[in-house]
Amino acid sequence: GIPGIGEKTAQKLLEEFESLENLLENTDLLKGKLQENLINFREQGILSKHLARILCEVPIEYEEEKLLATPPNRALLEPLLDELEFRTLRKRILGEDSPAPSAEPKVAPKKDANQMDMFAASSAPQTAQVQGSIEESVSEPANFSFNNLQNTKHQYHLIQGEAAIKSLIGFLARQSSFCFDTETTSLSVVEAELVGMSFAYRKAEAFYVPFPENKEECQKQVDLFKEIFANETIQKIAQNIKYDMSVLANYGIEIKGDIYDTMLAHYLIEPEKRHNMDAMAMSYLNYEPMSIESLIGKKGIKQGNMRDADVMAVKEYAAEDADITLQLKPILDQKLLSNPKAITLLQEVEMPLSRVLSSIEREGVNLDIPFLKEMSKVLEVDSKAVQQKIYEAAGQEFNIASPKQLGEILFEKLKLDPKAKKTKTGQYMTGEEILSKMESEHAIASLILDFRELQKLKSTYVDALPELISSKTGRIHTSFMQAVTATGRLSSKDPNLQNIPIRTVRGREIRKAFIPRNEEYQILSADYSQIELRIMAAFSQDDSMLEAFNNGLDVHKATAAKVFHVPLEEVNSDMRRKAKTVNFGIIYGVSAFGLAGQLAISRTEAKEIKDQYFVEFPKVKTYMDTCVHTAQELGYVETVLGRRRYLRDIMSANMNERGFAERNAINAPIQGSAADMIKVAMIQIQNFLEKEKLKSKMILTVHDELVFDAHIREINYLRDKINDIMCHALDLGVVMETGIGVGANWLEAH
**Burial (CB count within 10 angstroms: exposed 0-12, middle 13-18, buried 19+), residue 92:** middle
What is the model's pLDDT at position 298? 79
Separation of alpha carbons 364 and 494, rounded Å = 12
For residues 28 and 130, membership in a common domain is answered with no
DSSP assignment of 485-553 equals: -TTS--EEESS-GGG---SSHHHHHGGGGEE-SSTTEEEEEEEESSHHHHHHHHHHT-HHHHHHHHTT-
- Helix H, strand E, coil C: the string for 112-171 is CCCCCHHHCCCCCCCCCCCCCEEEEEEECCCCCCCECCCCCCEEEEEEECHHHHHHHHHH
For residues 86 and 34, membership in a common domain is answered with no
- Which has the closest alpha carbon to 534: 678, 367, 392? 678
What is the model's pLDDT at position 427? 87
For residues 219 and 245, membership in a common domain is answered with yes
Domain that holds residue 80: 70-101
Give CA separation, 197 vs 214, 482, 697, in Å.
Answer: 16, 23, 30
- Which has the closest alpha carbon to 460: 360, 375, 368, 384? 375
What is the model's pLDDT at position 143? 42
In this structure, is residue 748 part of a structural domain?
no
In this structure, is residue 618 part of a structural domain?
no
What is the model's pLDDT at position 549? 92
In this structure, is residue 59 part of a structural domain?
no
What kind and span of H or E run contains 52?
A: helix 42-52
In this structure, is residue 319 part of a structural domain?
yes
Which of the 8 DSSP states describes residue 94? H
For residues 122 and 137, membership in a common domain is answered with yes
> Going by C-beta distance under 8 Å and a sequence separation of 6 or more, which residues neighbour residue 138?
106, 107, 108, 153, 154, 155
Number of Cβ within a 10 Å radius of residue 621: 17
For residues 119 and 78, membership in a common domain is answered with no
What is the model's pLDDT at position 240? 97
Q: Does 495 sit behind a cis peptide bond, omega within 30 degrees of 0 on the bond before it?
A: yes
In this structure, is residue 543 part of a structural domain?
no
Phi/psi of residue 153, each to 5°?
-65, 130
For residues 398 and 292, membership in a common domain is answered with no
For residues 42 and 146, membership in a common domain is answered with no
In this structure, is residue 556 part of a structural domain?
no
Residue 527 pairs with which residues in a beta bridge?
705, 739
Q: Count the domains in the chain.
A: 4
Number of Cβ within a 10 Å radius of residue 213: 11
For residues 329 and 430, membership in a common domain is answered with no
Separation of alpha carbons 185 and 168, rounded Å = 24
Biggest CA–CA distance in the chain, Å, is 92
Query: What are the residue ranges in the chain where pLDDT is below 50?
Result: 96-144
For residues 196 and 290, membership in a common domain is answered with yes
Phi/psi of residue 58, each to 5°?
-65, 125
For residues 188 and 308, membership in a common domain is answered with yes
Residue 207 pairs with which residues in a beta bridge?
157, 199
- Find the DSSP H helices in 337-401: 340-345, 351-363, 369-394
What is the model's pLDDT at position 65? 60
Query: Can you say whether the dihedral through the CA atoms of 374, 380, 383, 384 is positive or negative?
Result: negative
Parallel, antiparallel, or unpaired for β 705-711 and 133-139?
Answer: unpaired
How many angstroms separate the first and last alpha carbons of the chain? 42
What is the model's pLDDT at position 466? 95
Axis-axis angle for helices 655-691, 351-363 (nearest 10): 70
Parallel, antiparallel, or unpaired for β 205-210 and 154-160?
Answer: parallel
What is the model's pLDDT at position 453? 93
In this structure, is residue 670 part of a structural domain?
no
In this structure, is residue 462 part of a structural domain?
yes
For residues 241 and 290, membership in a common domain is answered with yes
Q: What is the CATH number of the domain that holds 280?
A: 3.30.420.10
Phi/psi of residue 168, each to 5°?
-60, -45
For residues 117 and 84, membership in a common domain is answered with no
Phi/psi of residue 232, each to 5°?
-75, -10
pLDDT in tens, 261-278: 999 999 999 998 999 999
Separation of alpha carbons 199 and 181, rounded Å = 7
Separation of alpha carbons 726 and 460, rounded Å = 32
Axis-axis angle for helices 555-563, 603-616 (nearest 10): 110
How many helices, marked H, and strands, marked E, lie in the chain? 31, 17
How many CA atoms lie less than 13 Å away from 48 in the CB half-sphere?
12
